[in-house]
A and B are shown apart, each in its own frame.
Chain A
Amino acid sequence: MRRMTESERKIRVLVAKPGLDGHDRGAKVVARALRDAGFEVIYTGLRQTPEQIAEAALQEDVDVVGLSILSGAHMRLFPEIMRLLKEKGMGAVLVIAGGIIPEDDVAPLKKLGIKAIFGPGTPTTEIVKYIRDHVK
């Protein structure tokens, strides 16, 4: 058995659904597009608590966490997820988000360390490219 070198290792992405909403169409389409682009994708399933998401990111040793939320609770849940990721030593992981996120919320979320917000209508290729460009 041969160990994979760092450059051969696939980019690992956790697609996570915080919040109580069941809208998983976007998360699943993105998850599939990322998988088709050659990434290793783990999808959490619905209604994950911030703790569950941070723990999954740690356990799965991911490079990227993609948060999808359409419930409107992002301003309460995202800060908690960011805090827990840092607490678990996952502060360097690339966190991106999508869903129904009003424009006024984008700046405060970026301040929290969420690097990009991909709203409705974003081509999946744009997300793929963003991840390739930003995962070292």
Chain B
Amino acid sequence: MDAGIRDQHTVLVASVMVSKQKANLTDLKRQWETETLGKQLKESPERCERFITTSSRPIARLYTPIDLARFDYEHDLGFPGEYPFTRGVQPSMYRGRLWTMRMFAGFGNAEQTNQRYRYLLEQGQTGLSVAFHLPTIQGIDSDHPMATGEVGRCGVAIDSVADMELLFRNIPLDRITTSMTINGPAAVLLCMYIATAEKQGVSSTQIGGTIQNDILKEYIAQKTWIFPPQPSLRIITDIMGFCIKNVPRWNTISISGYHIREAGSTAVQELAFTLADGMAYVQAGIDAGLNVDEFAPRLSFFFNAHNDLFEEIAKYRAARRIWAREMRDRFKAKKPASWLLRFHTQTAGCSLTAQQPENNIVRTTIQALAAVLGGTQSLHTNSMDEAWALPTEKAATIALRTQQVLAHESGVANTIDPLAGAYFIEALTNEMEEEAYRYFDRIQKLGGVIPAIEKGFFQREIADAAYRYQREIEEKERTIVGVNDYVVGESLVIPVLKIDPKVEESQLKRLRQTRRTRDNAKLKQLLARLRKAAEGTENVVPHILAAVREYGTVGEVCDTLREVFGEYQEPIIF
């Protein structure tokens, strides 16, 4: 027998043995169920009729090799840093470098937030993440009538580069990476960041970071859109095109499931809708004439980490495998870097309870553990007080410490993808992957992501899941500690962060001063040029950059685009 035939023979014998074992195992399991287990159940039945995850997914009593009948290590898992990346995107994972500890922060004005950033960096945080106030997120200035009462409340007030310079004062932008949660006006804030770096003597090719820039999930879940879908996608492909040459270290879209989950979706919906959005962006990039291997490596993802440990871990693993396959086989990306699903994780804000808030530290720990066991590249941990207000410095510090304890004391970062091969984890990973593909089919049948948004498909799916979750809590099918069980008369009052109402006043003053001292005639010309680019097909990003360099505000730039593109109106579904 030559070597090849002998190998084939060995494989054949081995697979016959495996299937024989499995047949035996099925019998043995049945026997266990009727005898050992049966006896036990007769004496004392199980606690509930059905056991479900946070996403109402039924979970079996026991997982065995029977649940992994077609399991193939090389095909399904492979090795870390190799296709299909189920075990992680980097070859050495956390043994090489820990995940980036990136706390989302922003409140009040730029000076206050700059102080919080420098504090967090001193405490060992390794990346920045900007929370903008809602007027910036909506593309309006602090003096807009709709901004009343909102200035500096939900994030930091940024109107122009004048604010941005203060936000990053004494923070070297060539050495730290920054993530910005900004969508509708993402191009404007990216340009402001570039302009701020330039003022520090740092060129756009040196800076690194992420803009969320994921408009599809805005229509689906987070609901902070500005323009309708088509022009929004055009701006996104303009950004992708601009960054290839000018900001090569920038993640141009952070394709986000986080908000889909927060809006009430299940884990599988989060997985499926996020990847469907991702594929829609890839298609848009290709349709805009970009080379997939030039922009795909700069796409990153952002997922939620909810309470159900194993379901979350399986979700991340399934996500990596699906993305690698779709990028390679469907979109024909050639570079392995294009196949990688790199992701940030945030623990689930919606899981935090206002009742007995200190318990939230424990919830966040479990969620952070899920993210780490799932192979996240960066992590934000929520603070215990966030069902009440933005976090205090103390609460944010505990949340950061939670990550540091996981990283340095728990031992979970010592080995790569430690849960691989567990019958339950692998079965769940497969199951979630299959369910995601069923959603892809449904979305396809509706004509793709944008038609599905316009028909309210995602919104209805999420609203249904959110309502079901609430019913389960109210009917006590689901226990939430401190909310529907283990309730105590509340006596604990934790300190909450208060935003000084004077922030609004000082912000308006700075805005007026900026408008007074800049070259308004020049800015007017630049905005007119931007308008022309928006009306035509020229890339809008260089024109936005030119305008913000001259201290054009987020509201002024967005208004210019609004005049061309209009605003989105959502179908109302509940």
Contact = CB atoms under 8 A, between A and B. Distances in A.
Given A28-B463, A72-B154, A102-B389, A120 B354 contact: yes
Q: Which of A21, A25, A28 has the most CB of B within 10 A?
A: A25
Given A20-B134, A28-B466, A72-B499, A119 B354 contact: yes
Given A22-B223, A22-B224, 9 more contacts: A29-B467, A31-B574, A45-B570, A71-B150, A72-B390, A74-B149, A76-B148, A120-B352, A121-B480
A120 B388 CA distance: 9
B329 interface: no
B380 interface: no
Given A32-B463, A43-B572, A124 B134 contact: no
Contacts of A66: none
Contacts of B222: 22
B496 interface: yes
Contacts of A77: 148-149
B389 A100 contact: yes
Contacts of B480: 121
B152 to A, nearest CB: 9
Contacts, number: 105
B388 to A, nearest CB: 5
Nearest to B352: A120
Interface string B438-475: 00000000000000000000000001001100100110
A32 B138 CA distance: 27
Interface residues of A, number: 36
Contacts of A75: 149
A21 B470 contact: no
A46 interface: yes
SS of B interface (majority): loop
A56 B123 CA distance: 49
Contacts of A73: 148-150, 153
Interface in B20-73: none
B494 to A, nearest CB: 10
A49 B146 contact: yes
Contacts of B354: 119-121
Interface string A100-113: 10111000000000
A27 B390 CA distance: 20
26 contacts: A19-B149, A20-B138, A20-B146, A20-B150, A21-B154, A21-B224, A24-B263, A27-B574, A28-B573, A29-B264, A32-B467, A45-B570, A46-B570, A49-B145, A71-B150, A72-B149, A72-B154, A72-B390, A73-B153, A74-B149, A76-B148, A100-B388, A102-B388, A119-B354, A119-B387, A120-B352
A38 interface: no
B355 A29 contact: no
A11 interface: no
A124 B473 CA distance: 10
Contacts of A104: 496
